[in-house]
Amino acid sequence: MIPGVTKSNSGIEEISWNILGQIYVPKQKSDSSMAWHATLPKGTFVPPHIHPTQDEFIYVLEGRFDVLLNGVETYAEPGDLIRLPKGIPHGIYNKTQGAIKCLFWVAPTRKLFDLFWALHNLGPEPNPADVVAISAKHEVDFLPPEED
């Protein structure tokens, strides 16, 4: 990791990914961890999935997350830290009328940086099956939708 300060309105190497309508700006990357600022517009979400090789954390800066953590519904507001241990299914949802801003990080980084490049390059309206397949190749496993 290169020492220094990543300024508030930029990311490392000026990278900004559009991941399924959410904006991710990487702030730090090394083999042992990666952090990124995320903006999730109203109505966006990340459906239930598992990181089999990483612990994930979300520090909420603005807005309210609805969280599904290992089958239990909860929520997080500004100042709250969401802890998502590896191997535990989780999904995050913005059901509010405003954007959510937060800081994510994972440890270790593994293939997540490359996953975000792959998803960013899919374009504005990717096929969900492609998202699931690409994610699985990068160690993120989406769960099948629940039957009604």
Mean pLDDT of 54-77: 97
Mean pLDDT of 72-96: 97
Mean pLDDT of 3-7: 89
In Å, what is the CA distance from 124 to each residue of 21, 22, 39, 58?
Answer: 7, 10, 16, 24
Q: What is the pLDDT of residues 25-46, one digit of tens each?
A: 999 999 999 999 999 999 999 9
- Examine the pLDDT at 148 and tell me if it is beyond 80: no
What pLDDT score was predicted for residue 130? 93
Q: Domains plus CATH for the chain? A: 15-142 (2.60.120.10)
The whole-chain average pLDDT of the chain stands at: 94
